[in-house]
Structure 1
């Protein structure tokens, strides 16, 4: 656990330094320090840290031993013997360059964390205190488990940031994400959301739809899974992973805060004069994440959909704080930071993350 505490300490130290050292150069220094700390803890973890780490290590060895014709044959097999095509090809290419699965974990984690940094910068949230929120509230710890989905999430976030600049490139990045993890198809929601004019009535409608999803989403999801035999086998009503539901614990309190922030931002914003075209999207995606996390308490695997939209929690929380005067915003920032760190420490109590073991101790 000490290594997770060190990450929080380094970020807090960088936050304190920003009071004395300002400017673009120092911002880059703080970013490098924080990125280095978070990446090293993620990249050097042993096979016992993270629920699926050992599975990905075994997958690397399996792909490494396959010939190209065998790999193509299994990719095209009707029962999908391999994971998604993009990830299988990615691992095969890496196996030509290295015989260490740890390199795969390090590169995958590095790519994901770098995209999260770009995402924070895109939302003008490069202050270390906001980066701490990303570490504690956004799926940093999820990257210890869902390696290929976090790579897919990285491509999805890049797609979202590139959409207004180059739609074709955005669609291309999304397709890559789907090739890495089929669940990334849900990112198509973001393309629809960008074409909708925001309003308070629309917020109420979206909130209503998400309530319906929570109560009756199970039937819809099981129906959709019936068209995908492999995933029906895994996550269907009697699937292999149907009992892999999430446990809310103290997280419900966090969900309530985010829902309240979303509602207040939605109703206090004059959407007719709002110049931030992405503000409404942050609200919608944050609520989508909560809806699927709540649904994940009853249906195994559904929480994977929520992971795609969880990074939008931080920009939403920041938008809420900026609605008030400086003194109130400062108190709010302190309160959120304390809650975020508490949430982080609650998470690392899980045997998925603790005790932390370096990979060389598993050899």
Structure 2
């Protein structure tokens, strides 16, 4: 019951705030948006160690690293299960240990940092902020933030970089992505693929080429990953993820279909809408390309399930792309139609994860850290 109240409460409260937002002045709009982000951050940051598949591993790492002298950290081996942590993350944990040896501070830091970076982007670049928050909760970002802690922090650096990107501060963009990729989670480097959007225009040809390349990679995954292992031997740790279809296959198929539906909306909005100073053609194109790239990585995840974790850097654009594409449509009935369609799909997906496939991320049942001692 507590789980339903907390997760359902966030969605309902966000909906109420969205309705109030329509009748509010600029100051109240900001207060409402800040309030929902504070609540979400608290839910994520105050979760117990049982919430999230990887949470317990990071709490153990926090305790272990905290007991190691700082001059010996460079020789630290593996933490968080069998995975070696980037040195920047190790020193972040050591720094937080100076504040307190309570590992809950790591979860709070992750929540506050990630949702701050999402907030500043939604506040400035979403035409429907509370619709963006709804999609953030239901389409995976919220779930990821309670499970893949280190990657969630890296995503925060990517979104910080994207904020700089949109403001043409490319040096700051590079610094943000490199910090996230080299010091927090190496997969964040893939966010640099954003530069492709400056060279490639999103159209039907781009979709067909991506699908063809995806199918080729699907059938040639063995030599492909053998090459990856030679370049980055670290990923040999994940060989057991090969052919680990299970529930991950159903998720991958859904995500391929869903992203193509979203891109269909994008094409429809381009042809039947009007871009504005917030959602320009360039913003539309770069988000379209990043979402299209997620199709490629999702195809690979059908063979190598761990690859799907990479998609968080690409699918995060759902939360801006869907609301903005709907909002720029000229026809009011089309706006209503697409809004209900994507709300329905997002809710069904979220409920499916919580009820049917709760073992994917272990965020059910939810509890606060003070109720369950580590």
Q: Which moved more, 1:293-302 or 1:170-179?
A: 293-302
Separation in 1, partners of 2:246, 2:61: 24
Equivalenced residue count is 354
State the match for 2:283 in structure 1.
278
Separation in 2, partners of 1:104, 1:155: 16
Q: CA deviation at 1:56?
A: 0.4
C-alpha change, 1:81 and 1:252, in structure 2 (3 Å) is closer
C-alpha change, 1:292 and 1:362, in structure 2 (3 Å) is same
Separation in 2, partners of 1:71, 1:11: 43
Question: CA-atom RMSD, angstroms?
Answer: 2.7
Aligned 8 A contact 2:128 2:323 in 1: no
Listed one character per residue, the Cα deviations across residues 325-358 of structure 1 (whole Å, up to 9, x for unaligned) are: 1122022212211221221122223040111121
Aligned 8 A contact 1:218 1:299 in 2: no
C-alpha change, 1:117 and 1:36, in structure 2 (3 Å) is same
Q: CA deviation at 1:259?
A: 0.5
- Decide which of 329, 336, 346 is 1:330's aligned counterpart: 336
State the match for 1:193 in structure 2.
197
State the match for 1:167 in structure 2.
170
Q: CA deviation at 1:61?
A: 0.5
Aligned 8 A contact 2:214 2:295 in 1: no
C-alpha change, 1:208 and 1:297, in structure 2 (3 Å) is closer
Separation in 2, partners of 1:72, 1:53: 24
Aligned 8 A contact 2:243 2:305 in 1: yes
- Decide which of 367, 370, 374 is 1:357's aligned counterpart: 367
SS state of the match for residue 111, structure 2? helix
State the match for 2:137 in structure 1.
135
Corresponding position: 1:18 with 2:21: yes
Q: CA deviation at 1:108?
A: 0.8
- Consecutive unaligned residues in structure 2, runs of 5 or more: none
Q: CA deviation at 1:263?
A: 4.1
Aligned 8 A contact 1:155 1:176 in 2: yes
TM-score (norm 1): 0.87
Separation in 2, partners of 1:142, 1:212: 29
Listed one character per residue, the Cα deviations across residues 219-272 of structure 1 (whole Å, up to 9, x for unaligned) are: 32342123333321x212x46x874875244774564243033146348747xx
C-alpha change, 1:11 and 1:137, in structure 2 (3 Å) is same
Separation in 1, partners of 2:130, 2:30: 11
Q: Which moved more, 1:252-261 or 1:58-67?
A: 252-261
Separation in 2, partners of 1:264, 1:132: 18
Corresponding position: 1:227 with 2:228: no
Map 1:116-155; keep pairs closer than 5 Å: 116-155=118-157
C-alpha change, 1:196 and 1:296, in structure 2 (3 Å) is closer
Corresponding position: 1:292 with 2:294: no
TM-score (norm 2): 0.85
Separation in 1, partners of 2:318, 2:218: 19
C-alpha change, 1:189 and 1:95, in structure 2 (3 Å) is same
- Decide which of 80, 104, 107 is 1:105's aligned counterpart: 107
State the match for 2:352 in structure 1.
346
State the match for 1:312 in structure 2.
317
C-alpha change, 1:39 and 1:92, in structure 2 (3 Å) is same
Listed one character per residue, the Cα deviations across residues 118-140 of structure 1 (whole Å, up to 9, x for unaligned) are: 22234224531231112111421
State the match for 1:72 in structure 2.
74
C-alpha change, 1:81 and 1:260, in structure 2 (3 Å) is closer
